[in-house]
Structure 1
């Protein structure tokens, strides 16, 4: 059931929600959280589709906030709020309200959203694109227990990742981090199968891909070993190699779907490592509403060490060794590497 409201108010939207529930014969509210999606008109359809699919696992009230420019000089004086209220089959397993803000009300979106939040339920704010540099200080972000961004959608993902580290507040997370959850789980499980000490690691993936950078920082943080960042054509993450005193452990994926796990002394195994859609990523983030300490640790580890150099090694003190004799670099010039060295080696990496 859809109810279109033009030039409306939050009070009228709440009444429309009650009216819609009664019309479909479901007066009770069985939703577990409020998901606020802040996006633009161009990306609203994809974001709403992902949120609707995620609501099958987490029934929620979804509020899609679309900030529109003024249609005419008159709109600059008279602010307007339009709403599309969806309940029943049109809203997944919860309720959906698409809010379009015009005029000065664009700068006061939190005043529109606040009366529509479910009482005594957690609030999650998700920015599919154009996320603020400090989500916790954003007026809408201040309403939420969890704030979800996506650095992959930024113009400069690596710079955005560094900004996220500087502005991190407990409750922040990023879909670039969520994308590497299967990789972290697989690598941690691989280390559980052997008794050895990890002495170094290599992470290979697309250039300027924040997920690849985060996985490299996580390994360096958890294992306290040098981690080398290599560039490949992709898609996304393509390989991780961990050097141990028992032989190498390699997880290699070239097609974005099926990976091969190679452990010294064991037969090679094919493992499913499918690249996941946005709906699956959002559903995973909604499973936990407490601060992600592992993400924070990995993010802060790499904030001042996220430097790509060609054919050289970056040490903790900032000194960069010269190439080998004869002008030969330590790595092929076509590949950029980032090496991080910590104090002492560890054995295992914990998954999220």
Structure 2
């Protein structure tokens, strides 16, 4: 069910949510958090689709904030709020409000959002595209226990990574870090099998890949070795090579969903290491709402060398 509201208020949106729930018989008590997506028209569809898919695991109220310039035909009333309320099958497992803020009201998005937050539940803010340099100090970010950014959306991801290091506040995280979960699991499993000391590490990836930089820092932190970055043709991370006295431990994924694991003295084997969709990344982040201490540590770790 969809309800369109033009030139509306937060109070009217809340009434529309109640009306929609009654019409489709959907209770609000089953929702576990409020997910605020701050985006633009270009990225709104994909972000909302990912959030709806993630809501199967985390039923939530999703608030999509789209800031727009005032319409010329509304010059006499250039500050207003339009909303689209979705409940039932149109909103995944939960309910969705798409908010379009025009003119001066877009400078006060936090005041619009605050009355729409579910009471006594966590708030997560996600920027699928451009994000503030200091998410915790952003008016919307200040409302949240968890703030999700994506370095892949930045024009200069490694420069943005440096800014994240200086502005980090507990609760901040980035999807470039989330994308590394399968790689980290594969490498931990490989080291458990090899049971040998690592003396060097190399991460191969396309140039300016922020996940590769984070992976290099993580390896440096966990293994206490200097980690080298090597530029490959990609896509994304293509290989990790760990030097040991017995030979190299290699996890290599030049393309496709399968990687090859090579251990000294053992036959090579295949690993599932596919590039995950955004919905899976968001679902993973919503599983934990406490501070990610390891992410904070690697932001400060400069163990890895630059690409060569």
Deviations 1:24-75 (A, max 9, x none): 1224431000000000011111111111111011100000000001212844
What secondary structure is seen at the aligned counterpart in 2 of 1:173?
A: strand
What secondary structure is seen at the aligned counterpart in 2 of 1:238?
A: strand
**Aligned equivalents of 2:171 and 2:76: distance in 1?**
35
From the two aligned structures, give the one with the greater helix fraction.
2
Q: Report the CA distance between 1:174 and its aligned residue.
A: 0.3
> Counterpart of 2:233?
233
CA contact (8 A) 2:226 2:304 kept: no
**Aligned equivalents of 1:6 and 1:16: distance in 2?**
12
**Aligned equivalents of 2:71 and 2:304: distance in 1?**
43
1:271-350 aligned within 5 A: 271-302=271-302, 308=306, 336-337=307-308
**Aligned equivalents of 1:214 and 1:148: distance in 2?**
16
What secondary structure is seen at the aligned counterpart in 1 of 2:196?
A: coil
1:102-251 aligned within 5 A: 102-251=102-251
Deviations 1:249-305 (A, max 9, x none): 100001131100000111111011000111111111111101111111111103xx6
With normalisation by structure 2, the TM-score equals: 0.97
CA contact (8 A) 2:202 2:230 kept: yes
> Counterpart of 1:61?
61
**Aligned equivalents of 1:112 and 1:269: distance in 2?**
53
1:39-50 aligned within 5 A: 39-50=39-50
**Aligned equivalents of 2:52 and 2:73: distance in 1?**
35
What secondary structure is seen at the aligned counterpart in 1 of 2:18?
A: helix
Q: Report the CA distance between 1:307 and its aligned residue.
A: 5.9
Moved over 2 A (4+): 26-29, 73-78, 305-308
**Aligned equivalents of 1:75 and 1:67: distance in 2?**
17
Q: Report the CA distance between 1:126 and its aligned residue.
A: 0.1
Contiguous gaps of at least 5 residues in structure 1: 309-335, 338-352
**Aligned equivalents of 2:193 and 2:304: distance in 1?**
31
CA contact (8 A) 2:227 2:305 kept: no
Q: Please report the RMSD computed on the Cα atoms of aligned residues, expressed in angstroms.
A: 1.3
**Aligned equivalents of 2:61 and 2:33: distance in 1?**
7
Larger radius of gyration: 1
